Amino acid sequence: MKSSALKVLSESEIREIHRHGLDLLEHTGIRVNVKKMRHLLADHGCRVDESSRIVRFPGDVVEKYMGLAPREFPLCGPDPEKQWQMSPDQRLWSGLGTAIRFIDAGNANRRDAVQEDVRKHLVLFDHLPNITCNQMDIMALDIPMHTTHVELIRAWAHNCTKPTGMGAYGVMATTDMVEMVSMVMGGKDRIRDRHPFNVIVSIQSPLSTAGIQIEGLMILAENRFPCIMAPEAMAGTTAPVTLAGLLVQHNAEIVSHIVMAQVVNPGTPVYYGSVSTIADMRWGTAALGAVETGLLSVASAQLAHFYHVPCRAVAGATDSKLMDIQAGIEREQSMTLAALGGVNYITCVGTLESTNLGAHEMTVIDNEIIGRVERALRGIAVNDVSLALETIKHAGPDGNYLMEPHTQKHFRTEHFMPRVSDREQIEKWESAGRKTMVDHAAAAMEKILAEHQPRVMDPKLAAELDRYVETVSRRTVADFEAAEWEP
């Protein structure tokens, strides 16, 4: 059988959190910092207090619009024939974070992230079989900040055949995203039913919204881009210190945002997202590598599936600043918990230091960790072939299974085959220079970057994207600010 799913909430506890969340939405409400959104919600039965910008969501409104969110939807890459299904029954792994620095050369060299890292990252993600998506992973510091989003999409179109995504960043940037992704896909009508671009809508915990995120949500939902509703509620600072209390609040926040997307455009694909974690009580900062992040991921998956939508959660994030034991423990544990808990879109591959730091070697290693986790979840198949009765008889007492055809036929699927873990015998390991997993990953990374050719770019599209990037680069940050809607 497959390995048993992990649960941290009972059925009645899920309903209890749901019920208290509804109560919060109806009586305490959410502060919605975009007037246009408040008006739309009022038109659909919510109670709006303009002076405080608080919107209260009656239970029947919540129920009606939650029911409009699709259970599943297809994701695709720039070549739309490459397709993946997203649903509460699937599991895809993705990068995420905004790495502003990178380490390479086996932990030694710490430096600014540059646009070349974006390209490398996309090529690696495209090649590595266990990673399906990437999400605004790198904040390159060698380009103007206001071009980050268009540079990412251009680089993606050139270097990747898998889905990508970013965060919702206000009216102008989100519109750019919709325009450029449409260009890549050959028109807006071609991305309404297949989705190459997942967008994170960050929720401002507790019980509030960031204006630019809500603007982004409205534009994205209008164009049916999948929206990941993602609070980073921190137990002890932006949420109750107790995980159950955090979940009540975080659930209400996510539900309110899903309702907002469905009010804008019924049927918009959404994820029940979670970046929630605990605050470190010594510093007051988020501790993404904490064991509690994993528990909250499992709870989020249970709640998401209660609402029949896919869940996105953070795993593989670490508070370590190096590719060291802490980084290994924190990522492996959170990945295993999230996967066992049934999270459908698991992000933060390839990151360190609470996702502020990137390492291409880490991406290669994460691909391997994911392989291990996926193998663990597959469990032990028991059937006529796997019971191997004939083979046991054939090998006989003192036999050797290495020579049995059954071994050759099944070892690749039955065993996880590591690529960068070191299992060399000591003498060879010594003579080969005592290489670590990070060394092996660096070598694998170099090989992929030297050999992998993701796709052939249409020169016409390339020129079209170049023109768009050029237009955006002539803008100033003030242009972006001027485009914002009334709060």
Partner 1 sequence: MSENHLAKLTEAIVQINMEEALEIAPRIIAGGMPALEILNGALVPALDRVGVLFRDGEYFLPDVLMCVSIYNQIFAQIEPDLKQGDYKSRGRVMLGTVKGDTHDIGKNILSALLQGNGFEVINLGMNVPPEVFLQKATETEPDVIGMSALLTTTMPEMKKTIDLFIKSGLRDRYKFVIGGAPVTQAFADQIGADGYGAEAQSGVDLLKQLLS
Q: Pick from 402, 450, 456, 478: which binds partner 1 (CB under 8 A)? A: 402
User: Applying CB under 8 A, does 411 fall inside the site for partner 1?
Assistant: yes
Q: Segment 422-451, which members bind partner 1 (CB under 8 A)?
A: 425, 427-428
CB of 404 to partner 1, least distance (A): 8
Report helix, strand or coil for 253.
Answer: helix
- Distance, in Å, from the CA atom of 203 to the CA atom of 250, rounded to the nearest integer, reads 9
Secondary structure letter of residue 476 according to DSSP: -
User: Applying CB under 8 A, does 398 fall inside the site for partner 1?
Assistant: yes
Q: Which is nearer to partner 1, 101 or 440 (CB)?
A: 440
- Distance, in Å, from the CA atom of 56 to the CA atom of 23, rounded to the nearest integer, reads 10
In degrees and rounded to multiples of 5, residue 93 shows phi and psi of -110, 145
Q: Which is nearer to partner 1, 282 or 415 (CB)?
A: 415
Q: Pick from 241, 387, 417, 432: which binds partner 1 (CB under 8 A)? A: 417
- Distance, in Å, from the CA atom of 357 to the CA atom of 318, rounded to the nearest integer, reads 10
Q: What is the 3-state secondary structure (H, E, C) of 64-112?
A: HHHCCCCCCEEEECCCCCCEEEECCCCCEEEECCCECEEEECCCCEEEE
From 184-192, 295-303, 308-316, 406-414, span contacting partner 1 (CB under 8 A): 406-414
Residue 201 near residue 172, CB atoms below 8 Å: no
User: Applying CB under 8 A, does 392 fall inside the site for partner 1?
Assistant: no
Q: Segment 20-79, which members bind partner 1 (CB under 8 A)?
A: none
- Distance, in Å, from the CA atom of 271 to the CA atom of 260, rounded to the nearest integer, reads 13
Distances (CA, A) of 437 to 159, 182, 248, 323: 26, 40, 41, 10
CB of 430 to partner 1, least distance (A): 10
Task: Identify the residue whose tokens are 């259970």.
Answer: 71
**Gap between the terminal Cα atoms of the chain:** 53
Q: Pick from 145, 403, 457, 463: which binds partner 1 (CB under 8 A)? A: 403
The dihedral formed by the CA atoms of 130, 134, 137 and 143, expressed in degrees to the nearest 10: 130
From 14-22, 168-176, 296-304, 396-404, span contacting partner 1 (CB under 8 A): 396-404
Half-sphere exposure of 324 (CA within 13 A, CB side): 8
CB of 121 to partner 1, least distance (A): 24
- Distance, in Å, from the CA atom of 348 to the CA atom of 340, rounded to the nearest integer, reads 17
- Distance, in Å, from the CA atom of 487 to the CA atom of 485, rounded to the nearest integer, reads 6
From 18-26, 311-319, 410-418, 454-462, span contacting partner 1 (CB under 8 A): 410-418
Q: Which is nearer to partner 1, 15 or 419 (CB)?
A: 419
From 373-381, 386-394, 395-403, 459-467, span contacting partner 1 (CB under 8 A): 395-403
User: Applying CB under 8 A, does 419 fall inside the site for partner 1?
Assistant: yes
Q: Which is nearer to partner 1, 189 or 427 (CB)?
A: 427
Q: Pick from 396, 400, 453, 474: which binds partner 1 (CB under 8 A)? A: 400
Residue 314 near residue 301, CB atoms below 8 Å: no
User: Applying CB under 8 A, does 405 fall inside the site for partner 1?
Assistant: yes
From 25-33, 101-109, 282-290, 405-413, span contacting partner 1 (CB under 8 A): 405-413
Q: Which is nearer to partner 1, 396 or 405 (CB)?
A: 405
The mark string for 340-379 relative to partner 1 (x by CB under 8 A, - otherwise) is ----------------------------------------
Q: Which is nearer to partner 1, 142 or 390 (CB)?
A: 390
- Distance, in Å, from the CA atom of 255 to the CA atom of 281, rounded to the nearest integer, reads 28
From 62-70, 289-297, 313-321, 411-419, span contacting partner 1 (CB under 8 A): 411-419
Q: Which is nearer to partner 1, 450 or 456 (CB)?
A: 450
User: Applying CB under 8 A, does 390 fall inside the site for partner 1?
Assistant: no
Q: Which of 131, 482, 81 is nearest to 335 (CA)?
A: 131
Half-sphere exposure of 118 (CA within 13 A, CB side): 27
CB of 406 to partner 1, least distance (A): 9
Q: Which of 289, 35, 333, 86 is nearest to 196 (CA)?
A: 86
Residues that bind partner 1 (CB under 8 A): 398, 400, 402-403, 405, 407-408, 411-412, 417, 419, 425, 427-428
